[in-house]
């Protein structure tokens, strides 16, 4: 019996103007699996996540969620699909007109129609899970440090207990200890709740910890993927250069020297 992947991208193309960003991405994520995508800055990792969510529309290719085509769906069908997802944005994207707890409870109150007092309780529990107290809940997002904002965004992404969670650089901007707490949190939510996750990170320690499978994106394509344990012996020069952070190698950074 073949199982339908939770998410499947087939030959996805997306560009901006004349610039090609995604150039035929093929990737699938199985239910309950945690896949980490690595790749250089500006290679289109965030664009890939936004394409799956329908925030950007690919020019070509097909994206399936639970076997259902999601490219170009609208209205109620789209809302129903989006209910399966939680997303941690790279820049946190907290609503600055709302308090921290209202941010975390937003999906519960406005998406699911949960009464405010109940939603607040849930929000405070989620905030505690990311190491933030109830006093922080009453602040405005602008009053928090960048790392705290990231944690609030994380709490918001998991608050509604979605089936699929996207983490766009969850540990960037956190100190190493808090970074590890967040890694643990991601691992435990996958294990406990059976959530499917697709994460992006530059942080190899984090990638090793949370990934079942790692995929590397380069020039708009997935050039390597395999089990997390195989990353050290990938036999791929691009992957080797990336995970060891060497300036020398097949990946040439676009730095112009005079």
Residues in contact with another protein by CB under 8 A are 50, 53-55, 79, 82-83, 85-87, 89, 91, 93-97, 106-107, 110-113, 156, 160
Strands of the sheet with 213-218, listed across from one edge = 85-88, 164-168, 196-200, 34-38, 213-218, 221-227
Binding to ligand ATP in span 81-110, by CB under 6 A = 90
| CA 34 – CA 166 distance, rounded (Å) | 10
Strand, helix or coil at 30?
coil
Binding track over 42-61 against ligand ATP, x by CB under 6 A: xxxxxx--------------
The terminus-to-terminus CA distance of the chain in angstroms comes to 59
Q: Considering CB distances under 5 to 8 angstroms, the limit depending on partner class, which of another protein, ligand ATP, Mg ion, none binds residue 167? A: none
150 binds ligand ATP (CB under 6 A): no
Strand, helix or coil at 256?
coil
90 binds Mg ion (CB under 5 A): yes
> Hey, what are 114's tokens?
């949960």
In the complex, least distance from residue 135 CB atom to Mg ion, rounded to whole angstroms: 31
Number of residues binding to ligand ATP, judged by CB under 6 A: 10
Q: Where are the alpha helices (DSSP H) in the chain?
A: 45-53, 75-82, 100-106, 116-129, 134-137, 146-159, 176-193, 204-210, 237-244
In the complex, least distance from residue 5 CB atom to Mg ion, rounded to whole angstroms: 23
Stretch touching Mg ion by CB under 5 A, among 83-91, 106-114, 119-127, 182-190: 83-91
Strand partners, 215: 37, 225
Q: Which of 7, 12, 21, 155 binds ligand ATP (CB under 6 A)?
A: 21
Q: Considering CB distances under 5 to 8 angstroms, the limit depending on partner class, which of another protein, ligand ATP, Mg ion, none binds residue 94? A: another protein
Q: Is 10 exposed, middle or buried (0-12, 13-18, 19+ CB in 10 A)?
A: middle
Q: Which of 46, 103, 149, 234 binds Mg ion (CB under 5 A)?
A: 46
Residues that bind ligand ATP (CB under 6 A): 16, 21, 41-47, 90
């Amino acid at each position: 019996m073949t199982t339908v992947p939770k998410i499947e991208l087939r030959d996805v193309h997306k560009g901006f103007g004349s610039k090609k960003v995604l150039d035929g991405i093929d990737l699938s994520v199985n239910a309950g699996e945690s896949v980490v995508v690595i790749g250089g800055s500006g290679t289109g990792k965030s664009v890939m996540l936004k394409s799956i969510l329908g925030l950007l529309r690919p020019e070509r290719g097909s994206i399936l969620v639970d076997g259902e085509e999601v490219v170009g769906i609208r209205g109620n069908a789209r809302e129903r699909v989006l209910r399966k997802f939680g997303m941690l944005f790279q820049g946190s994207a907290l609503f600055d007109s709302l308090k921290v707890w209202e941010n975390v409870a937003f999906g519960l109150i406005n998406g699911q129609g949960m009464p405010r007092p109940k939603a607040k309780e849930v929000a405070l529990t989620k905030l505690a899970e990311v190491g933030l107290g109830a006093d922080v809940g009453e602040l405005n997002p602008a009053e928090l440090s960048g790392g705290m904002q990231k944690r609030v965004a994380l709490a918001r992404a998991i608050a509604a207990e979605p089936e699929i969670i996207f983490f766009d650089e969850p540990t960037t901007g956190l100190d190493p200890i808090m970074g590890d707490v967040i890694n643990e949190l991601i691992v435990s939510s996958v294990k406990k709740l059976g959530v499917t996750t697709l994460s992006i990170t530059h942080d190899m320690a984090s990638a090793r910890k949370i990934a079942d499978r790692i995929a590397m994106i380069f020039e708009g394509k997935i050039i390597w993927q395999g089990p997390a344990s195989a990353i050290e012996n990938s036999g791929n020069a691009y992957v080797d250069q990336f995970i060891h952070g060497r300036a020398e190698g097949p990946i040439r950074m676009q730095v112009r020297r005079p």
